[in-house]
Amino acid sequence: MSNQYDIADDNALVIDINNLTKTYQTGAGGISVLKDVNLHVRRGEMVAVMGPSGSGKSTLLFILGLFQPPSTGGYKVAGVDVLSLSRDQQAIFRREMLGFVFQSCDLLENSTVYENLELPLIYAGVRRRERPDRIREALGMVNLEHRLHQPSNRLSGGERQRVSIARALVNEPEFILADEPTGQLDRENSLRVLEYFTKITEEARTAMVVVTHDNMTAEHCTRKCVLTDGYLNG
Amino acid sequence: MAIGKRKKITVAELDRIRRRGAGPLRYYDLVLVSIREVLRKRRRYIGVLASIALGMAGFIVIITMGNDLKKNFNNDLDLLGGATIMNAMFEQIQLERQEWFRERTLAAIGRIPGVLDTTKVALKASAVTTWHDRLFGFNLVGCEANYWKVFSFNATVGRLFDQQDVDAGARVCVVGADLARQMFGQEDKGLGQILSIDDNLYTVVGILGGVRAGDRSQFVFLPITTALARVGGVSQPYSCYIRCATWDDVATVAAAVPGVVKANQPDRGLRVNVAWEPLKQVQRIFWWVELFIYSSIVATMILGGFGIWNIMMATVTSRTREIGLKKAMGALDSDILYQFLFEALCVTLSSSVFGVILGRIGIEYMSRMLGTRPPEGMFVLCLLMGLAFAAILGVGAGLYPSIRASRMQVVDAMRYE
Ligand SMILES: Nc1ncnc2c1ncn2[C@@H]1O[C@H](COP(=O)(O)OP(=O)(O)O)[C@@H](O)[C@H]1O
Ligand SMILES: [Mg+2]
């Protein structure tokens, strides 16, 4: 398959990482966290990144999310060399193409579900009258339309995580990054969240990278990678 | 379904999106988000809101009523010290003829910037009259109708003669308070009596009063026209009084007078007398009053500024996670900057609205106590200044924390627990 990103291709390569390294500079010298990471994720794929604590999972996730640059290596998303973008271009790229689901949900306190989902749309400059439909559709993916105007702090843990999934979806991303998405959920709610993930990758063909150390979560993914000693195997 | 709709983005398109998204509607939305944020977390802002509102109220009361007080003060102090009144006169030099003020000289002095009014007097130092067979000596002053205004004199009894009397050369007189008591026993008994001065009869129309009337209590005043025409031995008007608008004009006017006189007539023997000592005292007192007023304003500004600065800095730190999250959702640095700036502005502006209301109440209360009417123009000015001040405060104190928030690296924010 070519490196060219094909918009009509249901299996197009969305994430293309080659020979990525990351070295943190500290007072005691450099800590080489990622030594040679290669990762290729296609549409509809859901890849689990596993590894023990301190192995560099978060580091990789932050690089994937354009929160910090790698030391060396190449990173393309949907055919765009995102490392060469300016700070503002990266921010725009993030809101157009990337969605995030974090372990601790991170919904805005004292805000309703609607307001939480509206924020990414405001940043993306979506017109006011287009927002309700987009928000309803995203909530529909996680079956939470009936919670639209509920204050976010009156939701259960599972519901909160589903709302943050909907928020990741609302800008119609090509690729979703999840950091321990089931870390704070019980088994039943975890399963539910994972079912939605599967549904999203299958129906919307969104590429997904899930950082986790939970085996059950990894089992639900289409592929499993393990980060050890700075190398990603799998 | 829109979710899963295929997107292909090029670098050129990213820039296009950025340009498209920079419209006013975006800021409108950000303002709404900020207002919502402040309203939801109002408890956090109540302290700073109260302090800015109180400061603002104090500021408005001080400025609005302070000026009122200053004006009152100005009048009273000036009357006591006579600091803005100066005397110009020609001295008798040996045997030469004494000079005196011509009309056009006085008119020219009146045109010096800072001069409020001038009035000339003709004098006779040792005039006498008899009353019920007793002889009374006094100073006779022939003066113009505006003499009273220049010295802020009034009549304790009766009236002071006016322009009509002066124009007509009327045979009326005003008598100093002590002299009136000595002659008539009581001040009000003198009213309407006829005095004989230098073989002419004059009707007493009033007794002189006013804060500075004390050193003229042995005087008798005639219209200057009458005095010059009828009183033997009265001088030409070799002396005149000049009243300046404010204390700050006195020095420049005093310096300008000799030149103006010289330009219009011989100035032989001219002397300008200024009460420098009272002038300095009054100015010193007022310097303190103004220092007090302005330091209060500065203190308000500094306190309010520190308050909002402090709370915004604390807010930025305590909301690190939220900032990281918003950036992860694609907020530009400028979006974060504006959001925090709008929040600061929202706090300071609503504080100032409360402050204006409180200040208004304070002004009503104070003016009721002083028995004056609140100066509305001043209040409106204060209101506008208060709003401008709030805006400056919001931007000034909110800007640095906002910039800090906007510059925050997403990793730092996301790793922050
Ligand atoms: N900013 C940093 N500076 C120095 N070392 C860091 C920094 N961030 C992470 N590290 C180190 O990198 C290693 C990997 O961290 P992390 O990516 O958080 O691992 P994980 O998420 O798998 O637990 C850890 O040893 C951590 O101490
Ligand atoms: Mg981690």
A147 CB less than 6 Å from ligand 1?
A: no
A26 CB less than 6 Å from ligand 1?
A: yes
Tell me: the pLDDT tens digits for B363-391? Answer: 888 888 777 777 778 778 878 888 888 88
Hey, where are the domains in chain B? 2-73+283-415, 84-274
Residue A1 confidence class, pLDDT cut points 50, 70, 90: very low
Tell me: the pLDDT tens digits for A199-226? Answer: 888 888 889 999 988 888 888 899 999 9
Averaged pLDDT of chain A: 87
Tell me: the pLDDT tens digits for B17-40? Answer: 777 666 677 788 888 888 888 888
Measured between CB atoms, does A8 come within 8 Å of chain B?
Answer: yes
> ipTM greater than 0.85, yes or no?
yes
Measured between CB atoms, does B126 come within 8 Å of chain A?
Answer: no
**Cβ atoms of A117 and A138 closer than 8 Å:** yes
Percent of chain A with pLDDT over 70: 97
Q: How far is it between the farthest Cα atoms of chain A?
A: 55
Q: What backbone torsions phi and psi does residue A171 show, to the nearest 5 degrees?
A: -90, 15
Contacts A–B by Cβ distance under 8 A: 129
Q: How far is it between the farthest Cα atoms of chain B?
A: 123
Query: What's the token pair of residue A13?
Result: 């390569």
* B412: closest chain A residue by CA: A67
Give Cα B353 to chain centroid, integer Å.
25
In the numeric block, the tokens 């807010």 are attached to: B315
The residue ranges of chain B whose pLDDT is under 50 are 1
Measured between CB atoms, does B7 come within 8 Å of chain A?
Answer: yes
SS3 B103: helix
Which of A122, A163, A176, A198 is the mutation pick for testing B, counting most B CBs within 10 A? A122
CA distance B340 to chain A (A): 15
Strands A231-233 and A223-228: antiparallel
Considering only CB atoms, A97 lies closest to which of B2, B7, B335, namely: B7
Residues 259-278 of B with CB under 8 A from A: none
Return the half-sphere exposure (C-beta side, CA atoms, 13 A cut-off) of residue B37: 22
Q: Which of the four CATH numbers 3.90.1150.10, 2.40.50.200, 3.40.50.300, 3.30.200.20 does domain A46-66+85-233 have?
A: 3.40.50.300
CB-based contacts of A215: which residues, under 8 Å, 6+ apart? none
Instruction: Write down the pTM of the prediction.
Output: 0.68
Beta bridge partners of B120: B240
